[in-house]
Amino acid sequence: MKITYYGHSAFRIETGKSVIMLDPFLTGNPLFKGDAKAAAKVATHVLLTHGHDDHASDAADICKATGATLVANFEVAMYFAAKGVANYSPGNHGGRIGFEDFDVVFTNAWHSSSHVENGNPIYLGNPSGFVILPKKEKGRRLYVSGDTGISYDMQLVHELYKPEIGIVCIGDRFTMGPDQAAYACRKFFKFKTVIPCHFATFEGFLIPDAKPFLKAMGPKAKSVKVMKSGDTATL
């Protein structure tokens, strides 16, 4: 599994022949310095944890340019279908959707989901996290927390799917902060690799770096892989 980070919560995940764009906030992302079209080249799927612009801003453009299938909750999928996205596969909490190279499971996330148009918020369903289960890469099970607070639901995710890689929000204010995120990683999961996200993007609102998370992880900090925007890891 090849994972490229674009800052905030935006990732490119390659497994088998599939190219997944996860929460592609590229346009307007102060940490992303590349070309949005190049980043999403040959994308086959776009996974959205929820409808906030800092996760979904480039979703429609990517789907239209590549023909990628949008995977999101029902309300988000219908919203983007109305915006001209032709291929979409809606789901919701607890559901599992199978594709050629992977399955995706919708998991609980404590957050909100909306898009603001003309100053008015449009409700976009319940936010979620994901478990991505590759079919051809044994042992590369990936948990994506999405934007969320800590909850005991995470322990059930581990018991059911035993993900080895975790993409976990740590930024505070709108999501888990470093202490809660570290507690979840230490107590609920047995990750071999933890990739922190949703930090350093907006000065004054999110924590500026991952140092507090590394400290809170204690001896398990060795499992943390802090990625900079543009970094790629093969796991």
* Mean pLDDT of all residues belonging to the chain: 97
d(CA 45, CA 67): 8
- Per DSSP, helices labelled H in 89-193 are 153-161, 178-187
How many percent of the chain have pLDDT more than 70? 100
Please give the pLDDT value at position 137. 86
The residue among 143, 124, 125, 146 whose CA lies nearest residue 134 is 143
Rg (CA), the chain: 16
d(CA 86, CA 84): 6
- Residues 78-136 have pLDDT tens digits of 999 999 999 999 999 999 999 999 999 999 999 999 999 999 999 999 999 999 999 98
d(CA 63, CA 53): 16
d(CA 82, CA 163): 34
Q: What's the whole-number mean pLDDT along residues 167-188? A: 98
The residue among 61, 84, 85 whose CA lies nearest residue 71 is 85
Evaluate if residue 32 carries a pLDDT over 90.
yes
| pLDDT-derived band at 139, boundaries 50, 70, 90 | confident
For the record, the structure tokens of 82 come out as: 């109305």
- Residues 183-222 have pLDDT tens digits of 999 999 999 999 999 999 999 999 999 999 999 999 999 9
| pLDDT-derived band at 138, boundaries 50, 70, 90 | confident
d(CA 231, CA 228): 5
**What residue ranges define each of the domains in the chain, with the CATH number in brackets?**
2-228 (3.60.15.10)
- Per DSSP, helices labelled H in 104-188 are 153-161, 178-187
Count the alpha carbons within 13 Å of 160 in the hemisphere toward its beta carbon.
Answer: 16
Amino acid making up residue 214: L
d(CA 56, CA 107): 18
Please give the pLDDT value at position 69. 98
Please give the pLDDT value at position 27. 96
Please give the pLDDT value at position 166. 98
